[in-house]
Structure 1
Amino acid sequence: MSDRIRLPLAALAGLLALAAPLELSGFWLQTGLFAMAAAIGALGLTLLVGVAGQLSLGHAFFVAVGAYGYAFLAGTGAGPVRGAGWPPALAALGAVALAGLAGALFSPIAGRLRGIYLGLASLGLVFLGQHILTNATALTGGFNGRDAAPFRLFGFSFTATDPELVVFNVPFGALERLWYLGLLLVAVSWWYARNLLRGRPGRALVGLRDSEIAAAVLGVDVRRYKAAAFTVSSAYAGLAGVLLAVAFGRIVPDSFGFLLSIDFLAMIILGGLGALGGAVAGALFVTALPLVLNHYSDALPFLAQPGEAGVGAAEAARLLYGTAVIAVLLFAPGGLAQLLRRISRPRSASHEPTTTGIGGSAVPDADRM
């Protein structure tokens, strides 16, 4: 897509996103916040799976580390569930660091495995995490979960009050304030990932995906870059977990199970492996679809209501985006990013614009992701 088209569209999308809290209801703001958190996690998984070619089924574990890390570090420790009492902003940074550290600690295992064996090893983290979250009640609250402290930055609280805030006669409560925090975090996450891909580290990660032997011959420290990929991806997941904890207000172990890891994989496959913009679009689709179907289930006759036999909103959403994943793999392996390039490129173009990474592989230009 040319700059003459892409830049105005990006500016329009940015203006609409900034104005959204003035018009949208609480449901849509909450859905948007969940989608933003998912987009951050999907960007991290794209760097690991789509760019570096390291299969991971344990992304939900690192999201849980970020969410529970924030809840613990920012918690007051009153009652049976402990907390460190850190300022929320510092607790958020600490939670992201904890998630990144968890990825770094797993990287020696990742350095010895590849393909499906690496995926199965990472899947073990999810089951280990579920056991810890359910049984370490003093830290996690056990099966019932624990509350997450409201976010506060430089004395400004992301709650309904403290201080009172009205913009164009619209009261700005917690959701409206968190909306802008989420937008900022998504923008910074995308900017960092884009610059990473455009530099030497991005080319090295592409080389790992294409051929570890060829990358090593060209001077790439394979184990070091594998460790870096897992660390950065896990830190992204931790940031997604922090935003989820703040948006939910309360977190429970069931939210970070195996299905969440599958959802993240669906996001990056639908968006297109290695495409940053596609990861964001895939996150929006996979996150919003079940929430929207559930919200409008009364008006959709083909959906069964809770307690009734038939296909409910959650099952219908999984069927729909499961079908979408199969369709993408069969007809558009490049995902939504590939479809958008096909629509936007001139008909006379004989091929999609690409850049060449280590090992001679063709990867999408970072500016087009």
Structure 2
Amino acid sequence: MRTVWTMGFVAAAALSFCLPDFIVFRFTQAAIWAIALMGLVIVCGVSGQFSLAQAALFGIGGYGAAMLAAHTALSPYAGLALAPLLGFAAGYGIGRVAGAHTLWTQALVTYAVVIAFPQLLRWRPLEHWTGGVQGLYLDFPPPPTDLLSNDRWAFLMAVAILGTGTWLAHNLIHSRSGRAMKAARDQDLAATAQGIRVPQTRAAASGIAGAYLAVAGCLSAWQFGFVGPGSYNFALSVQMLFGLVIGGMHSLAGAILGGLFLQFFPDVTAGLGKGYSALLYGLLLIAAMVALPGGLAGALARLAAWLKDKRP
């Protein structure tokens, strides 16, 4: 399977040279969604927590890159190195506060974070750094060669980071630390009896998820060339949760399927109008939770198992 995954990422990178830039741009955004959802797979699916702070963590990565570009002479690529550090620190801090409590308390704490984050960006003492309500503009990092357009270079970076992130997440989930996260998810009292420090384990999972989300936010800021307080709101957190449920919160493949869904499904609902599209999203979310508890990834896995059993 590792060979299959590698071939898939290489094929996706090669296919980008056969597509026009505007199509490549859209697949880049799908890959960025997938990176963000992979962080949610770790914090929600693997460690069993509930989070609404993903929009804030996504914004931390974007604002980190924008502030470096606006206020320092460092290379734009320094933002990509800074994003996971900021995201991990913020995610770990949120996890330390919320991880020791029930899901309802986690929801309230992370909801407070995502509501407070845009207001913090508008706070007058920080306006000089964040741009206040006007936000910040940033330029896309120059490609290493003139043979690559900005859109194609962005796609290659996103696919490379997605592939590396998938490999790291797979190793984490199947490691001792991953098993500790699953134990804390399934039965925290039994995990504590086995010597697992549940609050610290959950905080680490939240920090790792924050690193993924911040990297995705950095790539998204580069792609659109702008960050603003209104971009990182509660609706963005709900949208990510929707993609996680549809794709499958217990599978890394589900993060990729959820990213593709978030990017291309709005094309289907756009013609229905804003009110009907929101209704369709709600109905799909309910249907997915009832009929597809494992998401699209779980449904495909069951279909593959059924076909294997039917094979003579």
Match of 1:222? 198
Name the stretch that deviates more: 320-329 or 218-227. 320-329
> Does the 8 Å CA contact 1:286/1:321 hold for their aligned counterparts?
no
Q: What is the CA distance between 1:336 and its match in structure 2?
A: 0.9
Count of aligned residue pairs for this structure pair: 308
Q: What is the CA distance between 1:16 and its match in structure 2?
A: 4.0
Name the stretch that deviates more: 192-201 or 83-92. 83-92
Match of 2:57? 62
Q: Distance in 2 between matches of 1:333 and 1:112?
A: 26
> 1:164 is matched with which residue: 127, 137, 146?
146
- C-alpha distance 35-224 of structure 1, shift in aligned 2 (>3 A): same
- TM-score under structure 1 normalisation? 0.78
Q: Distance in 1 between matches of 2:308 and 2:79?
A: 53
> Does the 8 Å CA contact 2:79/2:218 hold for their aligned counterparts?
no
Structure 1 unmatched ranges of 5 or more = 76-82, 152-156, 166-171, 298-302, 304-310, 351-369
Match of 2:164? 188
Q: Distance in 2 between matches of 1:293 and 1:84?
A: 42
**Letter of the 2:202 counterpart:** K
- C-alpha distance 163-348 of structure 1, shift in aligned 2 (>3 A): closer
**Letter of the 1:54 counterpart:** Q
After superposition, give the CA deviation of every residue in 1:210-238 in whole Å (9 maximum; x if it has no partner).
11111111111112101101111111111
Q: SS of the counterpart of 1:345?
A: helix
> 2:221 is matched with which residue: 229, 239, 245?
245
**Letter of the 1:323 counterpart:** L
**Letter of the 1:337 counterpart:** A
> 2:300 is matched with which residue: 335, 340, 344?
340
- C-alpha distance 196-188 of structure 1, shift in aligned 2 (>3 A): same
**Letter of the 1:32 counterpart:** F
Matched, 1:137 2:127: yes
Match of 1:325? 285
Q: What is the CA distance between 1:338 and its match in structure 2?
A: 1.4
- TM-score under structure 2 normalisation? 0.91
| Percent identical residues | 30
- C-alpha distance 221-267 of structure 1, shift in aligned 2 (>3 A): same
> Does the 8 Å CA contact 2:9/2:159 hold for their aligned counterparts?
no
Matched, 1:27 2:27: no
Q: Distance in 2 between matches of 1:348 and 1:17?
A: 27
Match of 2:113? 125
Match of 2:185? 209
> Does the 8 Å CA contact 1:100/1:235 hold for their aligned counterparts?
yes
Match of 1:41? 36
Match of 1:112? 100
Q: Distance in 1 between matches of 2:275 and 2:247?
A: 21
> Does the 8 Å CA contact 1:134/1:253 hold for their aligned counterparts?
yes
After superposition, give the CA deviation of every residue in 1:107-143 in whole Å (9 maximum; x if it has no partner).
3311332211111111111111110223332122222
- C-alpha distance 11-205 of structure 1, shift in aligned 2 (>3 A): closer
Match of 1:358? none
Q: What is the CA distance between 1:15 and its match in structure 2?
A: 4.8
Which of the two has greater helix per residue?
Answer: 2
> Does the 8 Å CA contact 2:96/2:200 hold for their aligned counterparts?
no
Q: What is the CA distance between 1:348 and its match in structure 2?
A: 7.1
**Letter of the 2:146 counterpart:** E
Q: Distance in 2 between matches of 1:150 and 1:164?
A: 14
> Does the 8 Å CA contact 2:49/2:99 hold for their aligned counterparts?
no
Q: Distance in 2 between matches of 1:32 and 1:258?
A: 24
Q: Distance in 2 between matches of 1:214 and 1:148?
A: 49
- C-alpha distance 120-134 of structure 1, shift in aligned 2 (>3 A): same
Structure with larger RCO (C-alpha < 8 A, sep 6+): 2
After superposition, give the CA deviation of every residue in 1:39-97 in whole Å (9 maximum; x if it has no partner).
1110001100111011111110001011001111232xxxxxxx133222223211221
Structure 2 unmatched ranges of 5 or more = none
- C-alpha distance 329-107 of structure 1, shift in aligned 2 (>3 A): closer
Q: Distance in 2 between matches of 1:31 and 1:174?
A: 13
CA RMSD of aligned residues (A): 2.2
Q: What is the CA distance between 1:330 and its match in structure 2?
A: 1.1
